[in-house]
Amino acid sequence: MLPSVTSLLLACVAANPGHHGSADSSSDTAADPNAMDLTTDRPDLRFWRSEVPSLVSAIRTAELSYMQANGAFRETGMAPRPMSALDAVAVDWVPTQDWEDLGWAPTGRVRGDYFVDVTEGDFAVCGYSDVDDDDVIAVYVATSTSDAERMTDRHVY
């Protein structure tokens, strides 16, 4: 039996001990959800955080290509640093064998952390950021059937 997408998403959240936000937070239900609140919406932080869904989508594409070529998905470890070291600083990508096997690496330095969890017949690409360095982690997830989706409140960076 194939695992549910929900179980894969839970794996990403479980791997994130600093997860405090929720995609269903009441702050997203304001009269105008696109209105910018300058006390919590900072364009510089939104720009830095935008790396994460972009790279999660790119890793998803690499996973789908890997499956076509190899008949299986490729699990990876957390990169480029341990989750406990995640902060606002951009760091160099140091590929490990699992990421080299997948054939994916970002161009330049990254602010987020990434990993791929594989279960029977599916995968979850998990991306995390803390670009405001407040220890509240933004989480993005993609699976074989869904592109990058924010799992935390829009005010979590």
12 with 23: CB under 8 angstroms? no
132 vs 23 pLDDT, higher one: 132
Any domain includes 51: yes
What pLDDT shows up at residue 10?
Answer: 57
Any domain includes 29: no
Q: Which bin fits 107, alpha (ψ -120 to 50), beta or left (φ > 0)?
A: beta
Any domain includes 128: yes
pLDDT in tens, 104-124: 999 999 999 999 999 989 999
pLDDT in tens, 2-52: 344 455 555 666 665 444 444 443 334 344 444 444 445 676 888 788 999
Q: How far apart are CA 75 and CA 122, in angstroms?
A: 10
Q: Mean pLDDT over all residues of the chain?
A: 82
What is the number of structural domains in the chain?
1
Any domain includes 14: yes
Locate 84 and state its tokens.
């406990």
How sure is the predictor about 88, in pLDDT bands with cuts at 50, 70 and 90? Answer: very high
What pLDDT shows up at residue 120?
Answer: 87
> Which residue from 133, 146, 125 is spatially nearest to 73, judged by alpha carbons?
125
Any domain includes 79: yes
Q: How far apart are CA 76 and CA 96, in angstroms?
A: 9
What pLDDT shows up at residue 45?
Answer: 80
CB count in 10 Å sphere of residue 40: 14
Instruction: Give the pairing type, strands 122-129 and 146-150.
Output: unpaired
**Which domain does 122 fall in, by range?**
5-19+41-150
State how far Cα 94 lies from the chain centre: 18
